Structure formats: C-alpha cells, structure tokens
Copies of this chain bind each other. A is one copy, B any other.
Amino acid sequence: MPVEEFRRAGHQIVDWLAAYFAYPERFPVLSRSAPGDLIRALPPEPPDTGEPFSVIFEDFERLIVPGITHWNHPGFFAYFAITGSGPGVLAEMLAAGLNVQAMLWRTSPAATELEEVALGWLRQLLHLPADFEGVIYDTASVSVLHALATAREAAMPDVRTRGAFGRTDLRPVRVYMSAHTHSSAEKAVLLLGFGRDAIHKVPVDDTLAMRPDALAEAIAADRAAGFLPLAVVATIGTTSTTAVDPVKAIADVCEREGVWLHVDAAYAGVMAMLPAWRPLFEGCDRADSFVVNPHKWLFTPFDLSVLYCRRMPLLRQAFSLVPDYLQTTEAAPVKNLMDTGIQLGRRFRALKLWMLLRYFGAEGIRARLLHHVDLARRFAGWVDDAPRWERLAPVPFSVVCFRHVPEGMSDEQALERHNAAILDAVNASGEVFLSHTRLDGRYALRLAIGNLRTEERHVRRAWELLADAARTVTV
C-alpha cells in the first residue's frame, strides 16, 4: 500500500474512532442485525482485482458496523463489561504496525523484556510475592490449560514422554472445582485427556463459594477410591455471580494434600489492588498458579490474559521443545517466550499493558475500579429497595444478579419466561445490553459494570428500562 494511502486512511480511521469513542451511544449497544444479514450482503466469491482502501472503508461503515455489538457502549452490562481504553487502543495500533513476533528474545528483545517489566509491575500491584513469575497468553482458557498441564507434569512427569494411553500404572485423575467454575477449566480437563468424569464438582455454600470442608472430604474419598487428586481450581469472582471461593482455607487443604492450586481471578483479580478487598485474596500467595485478565477489568483491549505461576521452571519443562531452526545463543542468558507455552508465535501484547499502567497509574486504576463497584452497589440497592424485585446473590464486586417476581407468580418456569421477556425488551431498546444466568435452577438477570464510559445515568437508565419492561411485558 502506498504510504500516502496508508496515511490518509489512518487519519480517517483515527477521526472515526475519536468520534466513536466520544459518543458510542449513537449505535444500539446490541446489534440489530438478523442471522445471515452480513453473509447475504457480501459476495460469496473472492474478489479478483484489488480496490482502493477508501471503498473498503465505506463498506465497513455501511455493512460491518450495523453488525457490531458495541462493547464500548456505556450501556453494555452483559457478561463482563470491558474497556479498550484510549492508551490501550493506541498501543495496539503501534503493536500492529511493528508486527513483531516475540517467540525468541532476539526476534524482539523489547517485547520480551517489556513483558517481564509490565508483569512485574502488575504482580506488585496485586500483592503477589516475587516467586510468582508471569507470562502473557491470549485468554484465561489458555492460561488454565497451561496451569493444569503443569499440574500434570508435577504429578506424573513421565506422561510427557510415555503418555497416558494404554498404561496400567496410572490412576484416574480428579480435578476439583465448583458448579460455578468457568467452563474453560472443563475444556482444559478434556483436552489434557483427563476426561469429563475427572471433574469433581465440590458443593458450595449459600454465597455460592466452594466449601473447603467438602473439598477435603471429596479429596479423601477420591483418594480412598483409587483416584489421583491432581488440582483444585478456585475462583475469585465466578462468572455467574462473582462469588469468592475461600482461597486461604482451600490452600490449606491443597498444601496438606499435595494438590495443585490454580486461582482463577480472571475478572476480579484486579481488586487485589484495593486494601479493603485484599482479605478476599488471602492465601493466593500459596497458590501454584493465578490468572488475571487485564482485558476484562483492567481497560486493556482484547486479548491479554496473565498467568502467574510459582513453578514456572516446571511449566517450561512441560512445554519447551527447541528445534534446530530456533536455537539461538546470546551474549547473556535470555528468556525465550516460546518456551513458556504451546503457542510459538506471540503478539507484542505487553506494550498495551505497559502503556496503560503508566497512563492511569495505580491510583487512577484504583479510583476507576471503586467507581464501578460503587455503581453496582447503587444498582443493588435499588433492587433491594424495590418491591417485586429480588436480588439473587451477594455483590462483592461489580456484578448484580436479580429478577422480577410479579405478585402471585412463583412457578420457576413462569418466572423464567417473564424475566427472559424483560431481558429481551430492555435489550431491544438499544440503550442497554444485559445477559442472564441460572442459579440453582432460577433464571437470573445479570448486570455487569466494567466500562470506563459507564456513569450513574447509564445504570439508572437500565433500571428504568427494566422497571418499564417488568410492567409491560406479557408472555
């Protein structure tokens, strides 16, 4: 592409993004396109001859943007609300332009070393001790996969060589989690060959937190039955309700039993930066691995997941394979990031984390997190104070689970239809987007706060729309 065409289009895109960031509300938050709309709008066959970028950009605005669900919209309250902050997006522009591939130190010394620096900073902010070494992956799914693979390496090192198939000397494995643990942990269990039966779901208490006594019992019973208790996945901030498993008590059990402890703090981990929340993180210093996703609640454009591991040499041992064409020698020992995972290639993700940690500073980050928690608490207060509305879980962070219970309606299926209709109605407004979950068989609406553009008026508007819908929907 001629440099002048790049420059012109680049400036046009920056202006487009600036206008977009200034007022994302001009788009409905949940896309209104119907299944197949975009596929039908585009030619089924590839173009033979090239076109100027300006034409492609027109099609982007005309065809692609209507099919976008706007995660940048201040009324995005679904799943976990996120922010691709300004400094993060600017860093992504630079990373895309540099296009370095940080598999080896020499293929980009700065990408390798900046990852070390930025993850050192984040580790200190999270109050994790220095024996945790960090590595950046794309997603928490990949992080937990590496954590459990390393647990396998720790417990059964010869599986790396001999495998698990057709052997009579291995015990079937058990991995402990709760019904509220993220599904990615289950996917990792499947991939590693443990099988879905290996998942032992430990009962939870009435805050939906894993019960350490039940965990201890489960491990003892499994051991007696000939299973190998391999790992526990404890969560600080479960996906449905942001429940907090008691890591300290779970760590006690894991230490006693010699079982790997992985802490999934993908969403809520950043709250370890705040003194009032730090007690929830007690015991994390004794975990074997800990995941936090800056792309969730640390204003980082997707994707960037961080795995901190206290046994990184073991993780490297599980994954390091260096073919001839990737052998290098440097003037001093260096870290080659390809040794810390299955993915050989890796983007320069550390750049955005480093830039935004500097841009916001620790104080700026803490203030923004507190603001989100405050908004969630206000919303929870409105729910609590309103007749016919019911809150369905505690609110330790920035997510509220709740439902509307019309007078005289007690059948769970009727309540589900009613609340699902409310959800559809508010989401159709284009002003807000909420999602749902299911708690002990009860259908729950779910409002998640995490976008830097969200102000009280947006949360209040969600509440108005919900109240209106509760009055008007019929199913």
Contacts and interface: CB of A to CB of B under 8 A. Distances in A.
B69 A108 contact: yes
Interface string A311-323: 0000000110111
A89 B96 contact: yes
Contact of A361 (B50, B69, B120, B193): B50
A413 interface: no
Given A332-B35, A347-B302, A99 B113 contact: no
Interface string A89-130: 110111011111100011111110110110011101100000
Stoichiometry, copies per complex: 2
A22 B3 contact: yes
A258 to B, nearest CB: 17
A149 B193 CA distance: 9
Interface in A49-64: 49-53, 56-57, 60, 63-64
Contacts of A20: 97
A51 B354 CA distance: 12
Interface in A235-287: 239-240
A472 interface: no
A360 B50 contact: yes
Contacts of A39: 113, 116-117
Contact of A84 (B64, B97, B359): B97
Contacts of A159: 193, 195
B355 A13 contact: no
7 contacts: A17-B97, A37-B109, A44-B120, A48-B362, A71-B98, A166-B171, A239-B325
